Structure 1
Amino acid sequence: MLKLKTVKEQFIENGYMERISMAVINGMLQAIALNLFWQPGHIYASGVTGLGQIIVTLSEDIGSVQLPMSVVLYALNIPLFILAWFKISKKFTVFTMFSVFMTSFFIQIVPVTTLSKDPIICAIFGGGICGLGVGLALRAGLSSGGLDIVSVTIRKMTGRNVGSLNIIFNACIIMTSGFLFGWPYAFYSAFSIFVNGKVVDMVFTKQKKMQIMIITTKPEAVICEVQKRIRRGITIVNNAEGAFNHNELTILITIITRDQIPILQNAMRDSDPKAFVSISENVTIMGNFYEPLD
Structure 2
Amino acid sequence: MFNDIERVIRRHSNLTKLSMAFFYAICVSIALNFFWTPGHIYSSGITGAAQLVSNLLANTPFKLTTPILYFAFNAPLFVLAYSKIGHRFTYFTFFAVLFSTIMMHLISPLKITFDPIVCAIFGGLINGLGTGMALKYNISTGGLDIIGIVIRKKTGRSMGSINIAFNLLIIFGAGFVFGWVHALYSAMGIFVNGAVIDMVYTSHQRLQVMIVTDHPKKVISSVQKSLRRGITIVHDAEGAYKHEEKTILFTIISRYEMHDFADAIRQSDPYAFVSITEVFKLMGHFYEPKVE
**By how many angstroms is 1:204 displaced?**
2.3
Number of residue pairs the alignment of both structures matches = 288
Q: Secondary structure at the match of 1:176?
A: helix
Residue in structure 2 matched with residue 148 of structure 1 by the alignment: 145
Over the matched positions of the two proteins, sequence identity in percent amounts to 47
Q: Give distance in 2, aligned partners of 1:103 and 1:9.
A: 26
Give 2:228's aligned residue: 231
Q: Deviations over 1:202-261 (max 9, x none)?
A: 222223221111111111111111111111111111111122222221100111112211
Q: List aligned pairs for 1:189-200, cutoff 5 A.
A: 189-200=186-197
Does residue 185 of structure 1 match 2:182?
yes
Q: What does the per-residue CA deviation read over 1:162-212, in whole Å, with 9 as the maximum and x for residues that have no partner? A: 877644431111111211222221111111111112222222222322111
- Is there any run of 5+ residues in structure 2 with no aligned partner, and where? none
Aligned with residue 276 of structure 1, among 260, 268, 273 = 273
- The answer to whether structure 1 residue 30 and structure 2 residue 25 are counterparts is no
The alignment yields a C-alpha RMSD, in angstroms, of 2.2
1:213-228 aligned at under 5 Å gives the runs 213-228=210-225
Distance in 1 (alpha carbons) for counterparts of 2:178 and 2:59: 11
Deviates more, 1:147-156 or 1:240-249: 147-156
**Counterpart pick for 2:115 among 118, 143, 158:** 118
- TM-score, length basis structure 2: 0.91
> What is the distance in 2 between the residues matched to 1:207 and 1:114?
39
CA distance in 2, matches of 1:112, 1:55: 19
* Match in the other structure for 2:157: 161
Query: Relative to structure 2, which stretch is displaced further, 170-179 or 195-204?
Result: 195-204
Counterpart contact for 2:164–2:190, Cα < 8 Å: no
Please list the CA deviations of residues 132-154 of structure 1 after superposition, one character each: whole Å capped at 9, or x if unmatched. Answer: 11121122222111112122223
1:98 paired with 2:95, answer yes
The answer to whether the aligner puts 1:211 opposite 2:217 as a matched pair is no
Counterpart pick for 1:79 among 55, 76, 81: 76
Shift in Å, 1:72 = 1.2
Distance 1:114 1:19 in 2: 33
Q: Find the counterpart in structure 1 of residue 55 from structure 2.
A: 57
Shift of 1:159: 4.6
Q: What is the alpha-carbon distance in structure 2 between the residues aligned to residue 277 and residue 74 of structure 1?
A: 48
Query: TM-score, structure 1 length as denominator?
Result: 0.90
